[in-house]
Amino acid sequence: MSVRILALVGSLRAGSHNRQLAEAAVKHAPEGVVIELFEGLAEVPFYNEDIDVEASVPDAAARLRAAAGQADAFLLFSPEYNGTMPAVLKNAIDWLSRPYGAGALTGKPVAAIGTAFGQYGGVWAQDDARKSAGIAGAAVLEDAKLSIPGSVTRFADTHPADDEEVVTGLTEVIQRLTAQAAPAAA
C-alpha cells in the first residue's frame, strides 16, 4: 500500500522557492509515499459555474480533478501575495470543491505550508489556504504547519532539499499527512 499525495504550488514563477519546497517534498518522501507535483495550474481557467458543465469541463480543470481524484491527501504550497494566498491556488481549491459536497477534496487530509520573503514565512496565506480547503470539505490538518521566512536570502544559494532544518520540518508534515491518509489508502 502506498499513500498518494498531490502537491499544488501557488506560485507560477520559474524560480519559485515554493516550487523548490515542493520538489524537496517529492525528493524526501518516505518509503510508501508518492508525492505528485501537479503541473498545469496556470492553464486552469478561473472557476465559473457556466463552464463547469459535466460534458464540457475545460481540459485543464478536468486533468486537475482527475489527479485529485486519485490522491489520498493534498499538500498545498503557498507563498504570500498581499497578505493572502495566490489566486492560482484559490482557483484550484474552487475547482476541487465542486460538485458541491462531492468534490475531490471532500474528506481528504490537507496540509498547507510554504515560504515567503517576509518575517513570518507566508503564514497568513497558508492560514487562508487551510480555511478555504476546510470550507471546501477537506479534512485540514491544523497542526501540520511549516512557514519558512526570508526565502529570498535563505534559499539564494541553497535549495530547500539541501536545508537540514527545512527537510526535518517538511518530513514531519508529510508524516502527519500520511498518518491521516493511510487508513483511506488501505
Can you tell me the distance from the alpha carbon of 182 to that of 186, in angstroms, rounded to the nearest whole number?
6
CATH class of 3-185: alpha beta
Can you tell me the distance from the alpha carbon of 142 to that of 130, in angstroms, rounded to the nearest whole number?
7
Identify the CA nearest to 128 among candidates 82, 60, 184.
82
- Tens of pLDDT along 68-116? 999 999 999 999 999 999 999 999 999 999 998 899 999 999 999 999 9
Domain ranges of the chain: 3-185
109 upstream amide cis, omega within 30 of 0: no
Q: Is the pLDDT of residue 129 over 80?
A: yes
Cβ atoms of 136 and 96 within 8 Å: the answer is: yes
Cβ atoms of 125 and 79 within 8 Å: the answer is: yes
- Tens of pLDDT along 41-57? 999 999 999 999 988 99
* C-alpha cell read off for 23: 520538489
Phi-psi region of 121 (alpha: psi -120 to 50; beta: other; left: phi over 0): left
Can you tell me the distance from the alpha carbon of 102 to that of 106, in angstroms, rounded to the nearest whole number?
6
| pTM of the predicted model as reported, rounded to 2 decimal places | 0.96
- Tens of pLDDT along 131-152? 999 999 999 999 999 999 999 9
How many CA atoms are closer than 13 Å to the CA of 149, on its beta-carbon side? 5
Partner residues linked to 114 by β-bridges:
147
